Amino acid sequence: MNTRQRRSRRSLWPIGWALAVFLLASPTALSPQGLSARSPNQNGDEVVANLSAGRVAVLVGKDGIAVATAESAVEPGTLPPLIVPLSSMRVGVLLGPVEWIAPDTGRPPIRLDAELRRNAAGFGGNKPSNYEMPATDVEGIGLGFLETLRAVAAQLHASLHLGPRELFAELVLVGYAPGYGPEVWSLRYRVEQEALRGDFYRTIVHRPEYIQLYPPDKGQPRTLMEMRYPPNDPADAPILELLKSNDARIAPLRGADPGLGRAADLLGRGESQKIKIDDGLEFLRAAFQGVSPHGARQMLVKITERDGVEWLAGESLLAPLTQQEQNDKKQAGPSLRKKPTSP
């Protein structure tokens, strides 16, 4: 196997240390319309699970990575797929039920983006200010988030009306791995239910499937990667398909600006690695404006090896930093919320 082939797939090594379990405290039920729900618990209180739903696109260019998301308002309270900074060089994108509310309890909502951020920041015993990941980072983050999801699912006792191993949530990891380069992983969490008695069910979340989307296998095109949630959403086709079919909302981008035209042509040819990241960002921004519903909230970040994660839109949608995280920001950098100082 040559060096190029070795770089194309990064091995996942088993994790030997115990992972923290986040105890989430509200019995909840979900509906089949995309895992958003309201149902009474045993005390008659109602619990609401709000979705992170919509479209995600990732473009790995010549000199950086662009990540864009746009909301699909499937129900009131829907959030766009949430881009969560995990280190100075990596973000996660959350799709699925992310905000858990027990309206009559007085407890604050449980936000899974905050849980993911804290889990990744403390991974492997590093202090939150370090934000550097060892070689086992992908599997470690995936298994840590699995414990969070299992803690939620343990409280789901009503039927979800879902098929076998139905997709419960997806975590997309995007960034630069030290000594490796740009990579994109899709971690897919599936759920099953077992009827125990009457309408009382046990909900089981399986270990995630780890699917490396970038770099692709040798000889495969390097182009726009796109995910949607709910996965069976009958909304528009992926942006790349709309581009290839000369859809009226996307086709004008080819002639609107030389940079947009170059980006569109290179994506169509499967050569995203030749796109200047600023051209790629403008293409994604314009394409999302064309295909997203009016007023849909969006998130947009750029990641480069020189400057790390840089927010361009939508940061305010994330769960606020805790007081401890704010203290860590003041004591050391780079922070989760600002791009690091250039060397």
Residue 191 domain flag: yes
Give the predicted TM-score (pTM) of the model. Answer: 0.81
Residue 31 domain flag: yes
Structural domain containing residue 90: 23-310
Residue 175 domain flag: yes
Of 50, 54, 27, 26, nearest to 37 by C-alpha is: 50
Of 93, 94, 97, nearest to 67 by C-alpha is: 93
How many domains is the chain built from?
1
Q: What is the CATH number of the domain that holds 264?
A: 3.60.20
- As separate numbers, helices (DSSP H) first and strands (DSSP E) second, the chain gives 8, 14
pLDDT at 162: 77
Residue 294 domain flag: yes
Q: Is the peptide bond before 230 cis (omega within 30 degrees of 0)?
A: yes
Residue 298 domain flag: yes
Residue 269 domain flag: yes
Residue 325 domain flag: no
Residue 270 domain flag: yes
| Mean pLDDT, the chain cut into blocks of 10 residues (343 residues total) | 40 34 32 40 56 95 97 84 95 93 78 90 45 64 92 79 83 93 96 88 92 94 94 80 92 90 95 96 95 92 96 93 67 46 36
Contact 120, 92 (CB under 8 A): yes
pLDDT at 300: 97
Burial level of 323, CB count in 10 A (0-12/13-18/19+)? exposed
pLDDT at 108: 83
Cα separation, 261 vs 279, in Å, equals 9
Cα separation, 206 vs 57, in Å, equals 26
